[in-house]
Amino acid sequence: NLAASLARLNPISKPLERFNNPQSLNHVTSGCGLGVYRDTLLGAGFSQNLFICEPVHNMVRRLVLTPDGVTFTAARAADETASEFLASTDNWFRPVQMLTGPDGALWVVDMYRFVIEHPRWIPPDRLKSLDLRAGADKGRIYRIYPQGAKLRPFNDLTKLSTTQVVAALNTENGVARDLAHRELLHRNDASATKPLTKLFLTSTNPAVRLQTLAALSAGRDALPRVQDDPKVGDATSLLLTALADSHPSVRQLALRLAEPSLAHETQLADAVLKLVSDSTPVVRYQLAFTLGTWNDPRATAALAQLVRDGMADAYQRAAILSGAVGRTGELLKVAVTTPATAPGRNEFLGQLIATASASASDAEFASLLTALAPAEGERTQYWQLLAMTALQDAFDTRGIALRKFAESPSAEVRAATARLRQLYTDARSFAANPKSSDATRRASVLLLGRGFNQPDTDAPIVASLLVPPASTALQQLALTTLRTRRWPKTDELILAQWAALPVTQRPVVADALTTQEGWTQSLLNAVERGVVGLAEIPPATRNRLRWHGSNATKARVAKLFPEQTASRAAVIAGYANVSSLKGDATKGAALFTANCAACHAYRSLGHALGPDLATFRTKPVGDFLIAILDPNAAIEPKYIAYNVDTKDDRALTGLVTDETATGFTLAQANGVKDKLLRSTVKALRPSPLSLMPEGLESALPPQAMADLLAWLRE
């Protein structure tokens, strides 16, 4: 994805008829065929630039890449801010791929077509009058290079001697180097070693040194062709030279190649450890991976230093964590003693504990508890809440009870476990205190009902967060927590808060109350008493209860919510004038939030469960009306809903995703996702109905429908 500032285009061709997304004119819509120019023939300023083909707008965009940590940022070239590297007035010009040619030119593949759009996006009536294949017998490849420049010669490598193929590596052209490298690997000729070594030691081009070093490694994690022969050199000597190379990419590769030798090559080990203070992020990034392969106290100490210096960078954290197993204690000590305000510290702590806990022994868990427990008499800190949540997640996954550590033979572990009781007490206090920061309250809620659980205290605290002044994020977390903890009388606690619930949250809460049979009966009781309004039960929730629940529930639902008897065709016919009504997009956004956002994500609103509306926006109004008012007319296989009965008496409905041999995830409305083990599922049945309910006409009369469509099609 391109940032907004980079997505604006400067084509010179005349705009043609657009079959969809008219607002995207002169913006990137068909970016493809991107590639990096790996030569200097165009000029030093073009080397390592990124080129992106844009066939819809008949042009090629050029971006200058600048290293940024272990990745890059992109920007327009200074002399192309109001123009493009390559643009044509010919609307049939359709660049679809760029390559660096072995001759040094920039090669651009022009598909050359009249219609570049996929037929799927073209209205049927317009499709009939178009020749979609016009230009199929054409096409060309452009070679772009400076006027008067001499293209680089290129030979058939298969006809050259091995020494000559090695010499072919010594070029500014990256593609030519790749081809020579490939030919050397194919030949596997030991006679290449000596000239390769000489080229590595003498070349002034870092790209050549990098590729030569890779060729010497023969694609393996060593330098097997370099023997201890003074006429050639030895592997250790070459790697020492590479580790001290002036270019970071060469040092980066040398680190990877040195890994198998670190345990027995002292000089290599010392040279690798020195790179802990390397000034280049990509070298430190690779160093973290390399240290993770080396089981040595010095490697652990070096990783700890990388933690101190690099935890603010998400990529560096990931690299360090890859080698953290077996070193958690040392790395944790460094992270804990780092100032709490240090960027990335809290994220690293949680990730470190989660990584270590996946395979930790009881002894290692005990060590973690000791490190995380608040000091005697000290108040729990925010990072400890996050870290304990990560550890508690591991306990839950592996079926380990926190209370068992209170009976540890180690006095230190018993004392730490006792202090953790205070952590849970503090979490209750933080969660209940409106003066605590929102982040602290959310971190605290994640611990309630777990570990040192106190249901009679924890449940009312969490239920109280369903209503203001708790933030929306805190309200949503509270509802998720109540759904999953299954405390006694949860339904009563929720319904007691109903009058104070935000109106926008009531349909979501009502839906949550239908996930257990007992809760469903309580909800229906509340509807019958008038505590919960009939209109506050979403149509989708009503439909699900009609099909998924006990016979008693179905009977009560049928009485409370009689089914609509009007045929869908008749309902749709009542909206025949919608296309002539003027819609208000602002009102439409509010209607989307109220009626559609539970299952559709669109323009930064809602939850992605149902079909992607972005692909639907250009459809005729009639198609929208059928999809909204008659959702069961056609259901794509991937959107078939399933009713799930669990052995703990939950009744769930959603889309089955992420299936494995042992379980699956059930994606539901409002962003709810339940990970279920097959062993806990009593029944799994396809629903005869779409997740999208019938009956939306009650909430969307014709003018409201026009408002909604104005926003969806804006």
Mean pLDDT for back-to-back runs of 10 residues, the chain (714 residues) = 76 78 75 96 96 95 95 94 95 96 97 84 74 87 96 95 97 97 91 93 97 80 45 75 97 95 93 96 97 95 93 94 86 85 87 81 80 86 89 87 89 90 95 95 96 92 94 93 91 93 87 90 93 83 78 86 74 87 91 89 86 75 86 75 86 86 87 88 82 84 92 84
> How many CB atoms within 10 Å of residue 681?
17
What's the pLDDT at 21?
58
Cross-strand partners of 141: 109
Phi, psi values for residue 674, rounded to 5°: -110, 125
State which fold the 568-712 domain adopts. SH3 type barrels. (2.30.30)
pLDDT number for residue 298: 96
pLDDT of residue 22: 59
Q: What angle do CA 614, 619, 620 make, to 5 degrees?
A: 150
Enter the tokens of residue 26.
Answer: 């002169």
The predicted pLDDT at position 359 comes to: 75
What is the pLDDT at residue 566?
62
Q: Note whether 111 and 136 are within 8 A (CB).
A: no
Question: Taking a C-beta distance cutoff of 8 angstroms, is the pair 349, 382 a contact?
Answer: no
Q: Is 641:655 a contact under the CB 8 Å cutoff? A: yes
Q: Which pTM value belongs to this model?
A: 0.70
Tokens 């925010």, located at residue: 382
Structure token pair of residue 413:
């572990």
CATH architecture of 157-301: Alpha Horseshoe (1.25)
In the structure encoding, which two tokens stand for residue 10, read together? Answer: 């400067």
Rounded to whole angstroms, the maximal C-alpha distance in the chain is 95
Domain with CATH 1.25.10.10 in the chain: 157-301
Instruction: Give the list of residues 6+ apart from residue 141 with CB closer than 8 angstroms, or none.
Output: 107, 108, 109, 110
Q: Contact, 495 vs 467, CB < 8 A?
A: no
Q: How far apart are CA 394 and CA 20, in angstroms?
A: 48
d(CA 519, CA 493): 11
At residue 677, φ and ψ (nearest 5 deg) are -85, 140
Query: Letter for the amino acid at 599?
Result: C
Please report where in the chains the tokens 């230093």 appear, as a residue.
Answer: 305
Question: 62 - beta bridge partners?
Answer: 51
For residue 53, the cross-strand partners are: 32, 60
Res 313: pLDDT: 93
CA distance between the termini of the chain: 22
Say if residues 180 and 186 touch (Cβ distance below 8 Å).
no
Fold annotation for 314-325+332-518: Leucine-rich Repeat Variant (1.25.10)
Angstrom distance (rounded) from CA 368 to CA 332: 8
Cβ atoms of 89 and 13 within 8 Å: the answer is yes
